[in-house]
Structure 1
Amino acid sequence: MHDVLLAGILNQNVNLFYMINGGMDNIVFDFIMPLITNFGSIIAWVVICGLLFVFGGVKGKKVAVLGLVALFVSNAIVYSLKFIIAEPRPFLTLPNVDLLVYENGSYSFPSGHTASSFAAAVVIGLKYKFNFRGKSYGLIYPLLAFAGVVGFSRIYVGVHYPLDVAFGALIGILSALIVLKLENTALADKLPGVNS
């Protein structure tokens, strides 16, 4: 029973991969998605956190450090799972994959770009708001949307399966929430009367 269920899930994973990688193929996405996918790398998010640290004032420094910790946690989990599961990337095992970026033969599950994007998006997005027409909105919504597009791009360019991206997103979100929870706990411990 479990084997049949797992086989069905993996089959749908491959079908969805082909639907996105080949079925949605167009010149606009062929140009945009390789660019977007690069903005999801841990290096890009470290640079963003670095800029926030340098130019963001006191709050920016705190948010940058939290973002870097979340990136570290998420990537430690991702690379541990990559090593344990050792799933080859789709372009190495499937025929007719439209590969749009250079990617080494590192393992596929889960997606590190997606995990990094969601980890940083949640930390930065929950810490900042923007005003529009007299109302305040969390930056979380556009940042989560961007992280989602990064995840989509990883499938579109041919380097990840949908399940890689889904688990990468989950790892990134949970890593960020754990870091923010630890920050709140540490802050509560420092405030007099909070735990009394």
Structure 2
Amino acid sequence: MNSLLSALSYLNILSFYFINHGLDNRLFDIVMPFITDFGSVLAWFLILGLMFVFGDQKTRKIAFLGVMALLIANVVVYSLKFLVAEPRPFLTLANVDLLVHAEETYSFPSGHAASSFAAAFVIGSKYKLNLKGKSYSLLYPLMIFAAVVGFSRIYIGVHYPYDVVVGAIIGILSGYFALKFWNNNLTEKISRINIKYRLKT
């Protein structure tokens, strides 16, 4: 068991250096810090807030579901952060390319990855893009964007690959739970409101 954990830890560090050093280039140095900001929970709350304020009934419902997914994901993430208490890679590894100013908070799991995958899963599951008479789900493009956010967290030097992988799993499960539980409850409540309104009129 110890040998397996040691092998996984070694692979985690090796993968980190491959992304943080091996893929180093000027374009990523500019783009990745910019992309990583869009994966923060605050950025997603802002996006969902704008959807709720300016959207129609369907959009407001999706925004609400997205907020629920974000809340679930971040409760799980920050609970694990304090339980595991893993330092960020730039605090424990040598020669890390740190591209942003980062606080010395805990690394595992990635909150940016969890938030991005949670919001992307909810929004992507509910929206479709119609092009030339065909309907395309937005789930895969948004999940790819979430994956790029996760990649950026490793590239800029603030997370290990395993932090991002676990964060992504938490985000997807949080989005699924929000859609499964809150979606049904919201539909029932909206139906009851419509029935009461019809009875009154």
Which position in structure 2 is the counterpart of 1:137? 136
User: How far does the alpha carbon of each residue in 1:101-157 deviate from its partner, in whole angstroms, 9 at most, with x for none?
Assistant: 111001000000000000000001111111122210111111000000000000000
Which residue of the partner structure matches residue 57 of structure 1? 56
What secondary structure, in the 3-state scheme, does the structure 2 residue paired with 1:102 have?
Answer: coil
Within the alignment, does 1:33 sit opposite 2:32 as a pair? yes
Aligned twin of 2:87: 88
Following superposition of structure 1 onto structure 2, how do residues 47-196 of structure 1 map, counting pairs within 5 Å?
47-186=46-185
Is the contact made by 2:19 and 2:154 (CA closer than 8 Å) also made in structure 1?
yes
Query: In the alignment, is the contact (CA less than 8 A) between 2:65 and 2:183 conserved in 1?
Result: no
Please, what TM-score do these two structures have when normalized by structure 1? Answer: 0.94
**Which segments of 5 or more consecutive residues in structure 1 lack a partner in the other structure?**
none
Map of 1:21 onto structure 2: 20
- TM-score of the two chains, using structure 2 as the length reference: 0.92
Percentage of matched positions with identical amino acids: 60
Q: Which residue matches 1:44?
A: 43
**114-123 or 48-57, larger mean C-alpha shift:** 48-57
How much has 1:184 moved relative to structure 2?
A: 4.2
Deviation at 1:187, TM superposition (A): 5.5
Structure 2 counterpart SS, 1:147: helix
Highest Rg: 1 or 2? 2
Aligned to 1:122, the other structure's residue is in SS state helix
Take 1:114 and 1:59, find their aligned partners in 2: how far apart are those partners?
A: 26
Conserved 8 A contact 2:82-2:106: yes
Task: Give the root-mean-square deviation of aligned CA atoms.
Answer: 1.4
SS at 1:142 equivalent: helix
Task: Count residues in correspondence.
Answer: 191
Per-residue deviation, residues 29-88 of structure 1 (Å, max 9, x unmatched): 000000000000001000000110011111111111110110000000000000000000
